[in-house]
Amino acid sequence: MKDNAILYIIIPCYNEEKVLQITSTMFLEKIESLINKGKISDKSRIMFVNDGSKDRTWEIICELAKTDEHYIGISQSRNRGHQNAVLAGLMEAKDNCDITISIDCDGQDDINAMDKMVDEYLNGCEIVYGVRSSRQTDTFFKRFTAQGFYKLLNAMGAEVVYNHADYRLVSSRVLKEFENFKEVNLFLRGMFPLVGFKSTSVYYERHERIAGESHYPLRKMLALAFDGITSLSIKPIRMITGLGTAIAMLSFVGVIWSIVMAVLGKTVAGWASMVCIVTFIGGIQLICLGVIGEYIGKIYMEVKHRPRYIISERTNDDK
């Protein structure tokens, strides 16, 4: 049995001054209870990743780090988004710990699921996905769009665990392999299944945000869905090829039809239908170009190979 594994809880924070005060104690209590139960080592840490917050978030993290040695923090040089913040934390932690659990700082994900996650790790799993058992606390709109999100992802060939966001236990062994996934366009929940290793799911209830507001309005959700699809699959491009073939065949039928009509001398002044067809095909072509352009844009970003995160400060810098 692997006992006393070192656990790092990775918590991305963006403008969370209202929430942090409340949830930081919850995280500390959790980690202490896990230590007391003898499941994890006392060297375990709660690592906050400040994602270029504009409020007092980083100051709060620094103050926390002074009050208890279990709190540590790193700060990104600017706001880079949730996925990059989680990645920065995971990469920072991977050499110092045996397991990581990434979780949002707003108290929405039930921290009591961590016990089960650690148990699954002790049973030999390397990745444990936190899966929401229901979406009762969500508004109808959020529930509807989120469900559509997973359906769309799967239909488009991006494999993701249904109703799993970024609450997840990952062992450092997996992280060391994950490091070789060099892509800049990150969609972590779709990438970890690609790493493989023994994995399982743990179910939990998702609560409402303790304070503050969601940073994921519909616009960002759509962007994330689109990113997820185009980063993980080329199915949309295949669909374009299919669509192109179908339209080409259709127009071939149209050509034959018009020749037959011309031979029969029944040509009509079909201005309206002409315009309809031309604009329809024009529209489809533009959409297809847009999708292909999206992939080219991604290739461009990947080729530049810019760093995915830049850590500017650490709470233990002075030590």
> Using CB under 6 A as the criterion, which residues of the chain lie in contact with ligand UDP when the complex forms?
12-14, 16, 51, 79, 81-82, 85, 104-106, 108, 214-216
Q: Which does 8 bind (CB under 5 to 8 A by kind): Mg ion, ligand UDP, none?
A: none
Give the nearest distance from C-beta 9 to ligand UDP in angstroms.
Answer: 12
Rounded distance between C-alpha atoms, residue 194 and residue 204, angstroms: 23
The correct pick among 106, 126, 166, 227 for binding Mg ion (CB under 5 A) is 106
Rounded distance between C-alpha atoms, residue 104 and residue 125, angstroms: 22
Give the nearest distance from C-beta 312 to Mg ion in angstroms.
Answer: 24
Q: Which does 81 bind (CB under 5 to 8 A by kind): Mg ion, ligand UDP, none?
A: ligand UDP
Rounded distance between C-alpha atoms, residue 56 and residue 139, angstroms: 29
- Distance of CA 296 to CAs 24, 230, 303, Å? 42, 10, 10
Cβ proximity to Mg ion, 38 vs 217, nearer residue: 217
Within 13 Å, how many C-alpha atoms sit on residue 152's CB side?
17
Q: Which does 82 bind (CB under 5 to 8 A by kind): Mg ion, ligand UDP, none?
A: ligand UDP
Cβ proximity to Mg ion, 108 vs 199, nearer residue: 108
The correct pick among 84, 108, 199, 230 for binding Mg ion (CB under 5 A) is 108
| Residue 49 per-residue DSSP state | E
Minimal CB distance residue for Mg ion: 106
DSSP string, 111-178: TTHHHHHHHHHHTT-SEEEEEES--TTS-HHHHHHHHHHHHHHHHTT----TTEEEEEEEEHHHHHHH
Rounded distance between C-alpha atoms, residue 73 and residue 93, angstroms: 11
Cβ proximity to ligand UDP, 89 vs 236, nearer residue: 89
Q: Which does 126 bind (CB under 5 to 8 A by kind): ligand UDP, Mg ion, none?
A: none
Cβ proximity to Mg ion, 216 vs 226, nearer residue: 216
- Distance of CA 114 to CAs 75, 124, 163, 234, 303, Å? 25, 15, 17, 35, 38
Q: Which residues contact 135 (CB under 8 A, 6 or more apart)?
A: 142, 143, 146, 147, 163, 206
Provide the token pair at 121.
Answer: 């790790």
Cβ proximity to ligand UDP, 11 vs 232, nearer residue: 11
Give the nearest distance from C-beta 113 to ligand UDP in angstroms.
Answer: 16
Q: Which does 168 bind (CB under 5 to 8 A by kind): Mg ion, ligand UDP, none?
A: none
Cβ proximity to ligand UDP, 140 vs 271, nearer residue: 140
Q: Which of 80, 96, 132 is closest to 9 using CA atoms?
A: 96
Binding residues with Mg ion: total (CB under 5 A): 3
Q: Which does 16 bind (CB under 5 to 8 A by kind): Mg ion, ligand UDP, none?
A: ligand UDP
Cβ proximity to ligand UDP, 17 vs 183, nearer residue: 17
Residue 303 phi/psi, 5-degree rounding, is: -65, -35
23 binds Mg ion (CB under 5 A): no
> Under the rule (CB under 5 A), what is the footprint of Mg ion?
104, 106, 108
